[in-house]
Amino acid sequence: MSQVQKNTPSQAWEDYLKIVYKLEDNTREDKGVQTKDIAERLAVSQASVTNMLKKLAEQGYLEYEPYYGVTLTGHGRKVAMKMIRNHRILELYLVERLGYLWDEVDEEAETLEHYLSDKLVDRMWQDLGQPTQDPHGSPIPSVDGKIERKNLTPLSEIELHQPVILERIKNRTPEELRYLTSIELHIGAQIEIKNRAPLNGPLLIEVDGKALHAIDYRLAMALQVKA
């Protein structure tokens, strides 16, 4: 069992806890988050990840069991949600108040999220009109760590000729976001799949009833839509 939290989390610890939280969404109920998946997301060795996970478990932020994986404790989840709230409010502030494009904000927010006081984050959130989502449609956690979850479906699972609305874009690269901008695909856009290649090949989509564009299947999996 994890011990009581001892130390204030460092920037590296905060990054790990945030990644664990994000990966938990895609983890089977009978498994924790796996070391290899964390290593892949952070681009570090599995040995380095294992050492860090042990430290976080000792500090009470994680439950760590070899061969099972890791899960966040209450302490760990609180830190992760704070970082996600900071990050998403920062992204929106950079877009809405400073004129950044949505493909430019992730790197800036990754750096700044660790240094903001709760007071500053709340002032930014209030100034933005108490928003509930970031520029990519991801929900912004509340101050007490609650998060609204919508019942959304990946575009890759939608049938042909069924109009849907884009609600969220999950974890895409700046290059992919720039491509989506180039085809005028934005949060709130209407999408209709006109054709799809076999074997998880590209999809041919219509955006807002205008021109047709091709997107690959992997990108379509990250586009979260509602009918």
Residue 23: give its domain's CATH number: 1.10.10.10
Structure tokens at 58: 């000792």
pLDDT at 2 over 60: no
Which one-letter amino acid corresponds to residue 120?
L
Examine residue 28 and state whether it is found in any structural domain, yes or no.
yes
pLDDT at 7 over 80: no
Q: Does 171 share its domain with 218?
A: yes
Q: Report the domain count for the chain.
A: 3
Q: How would you label 47-75 residue by residue, b for 16+ Cβ within 10 Å and e otherwise? A: eebeebbebbbebbbbbbeeeebbbbbeb
pLDDT at 226 over 80: yes
How do beta strands 62-65 and 190-196 pair? unpaired
- Bridge partners of residue 223, in order along the sequence: 169
Structure confidence at residue 68 (pLDDT): 87
Give SS3 for 144: coil
Range of the domain at 24: 11-72
What integer best gives the mean pLDDT of the chain? 92
Q: Residue 3: which pLDDT band, with cuts at 50, 70 and 90? A: very low
Question: CA 68 → CA 27, 28, 120, 177, distances in Å?
Answer: 11, 11, 39, 35
Structure confidence at residue 8 (pLDDT): 72
What are the tens digits of pLDDT across the range 152-199?
A: 999 999 999 999 999 999 988 999 999 999 999 999 999 999 999 999
Which one-letter amino acid corresponds to residue 82?
K
| pLDDT greater at residue 4 or residue 70 | 70
Q: Does 99 share its domain with 118?
A: yes
Average pLDDT rounded to a whole number, residues 64-88: 93
Structure confidence at residue 1 (pLDDT): 40
